Amino acid sequence: MDLASDVYVGIRELLEAHGRPAREVYLDSENSGMIFPEALKAMVDAYEDHFAGHPSITHRRGWESYEALYKTSSTIAKFINCEPDELAFTHSGTEANNLAILGLNKESERKKIIVSAIEHLSVIFPAEQLEKQGYRVIKVPVDREGFVNLEFLINNVDKDTLLVSVGAVNHEIGTIQDLRAIVESVKDKDENIIFHTDACDALGRISLDVKKLNVDMASFSSHKVCGPKGAGALYIRDGVKIEPIIHGQLSTQKLWPGLENVPAIAGFGKAVELFASNFDLYVNHMKELRDLLIQGILSNVEHTLLNGPLGNKRSPDNVNVSVLYCEGEALTVDLSLNGIYVSSGSACTSRILQPSHVLLAIGREFHEAHGSILMKVAPLHSHEDVRYVVENVPRVVQRLRSISPLKPKEVG
Active site (catalytic) residues: 348
Which of 172, 141, 175, 168 lies closest to 321 in space, CA to CA?
Answer: 172
Which of 34, 22, 82 lies closest to 379 in space, CA to CA?
Answer: 34
- Sheet with 372-376, strands from edge to edge, namely 304-306, 318-323, 372-376
Dist. CA 199–CA 166, nearest whole Å: 9
Going by the DSSP 8-state scheme, the letter that residue 162 receives in this structure is E
Going by the DSSP 8-state scheme, the letter that residue 46 receives in this structure is I
Q: CB atoms < 10 A from the CB of 343, how many?
A: 25
Dist. CA 152–CA 146, nearest whole Å: 14
**Cα separation values, 231 from 9, 31, 199, 223, Å:** 30, 14, 14, 8
Which of 246, 276, 320 lies closest to 72 in space, CA to CA?
Answer: 276
- Is residue 232 within 8 A of residue 211, CB to CB? The reply is no
Which of 243, 214, 249 lies closest to 88 in space, CA to CA?
Answer: 243
- Is residue 142 within 8 A of residue 362, CB to CB? The reply is yes
Buried b (16+ CB within 10 A) or exposed e, 353-365: eebbbbbbbbebe
Dist. CA 226–CA 282, nearest whole Å: 12
- Strands 136-140, 304-306: pairing kind: unpaired
Neighbouring residues of 102: CB distance < 8 A, sequence distance ≥ 6: 126, 129, 130, 245
**Cα separation values, 270 from 53, 101, 222, 265, Å:** 19, 28, 10, 9
Amino acid occupying residue 45? D
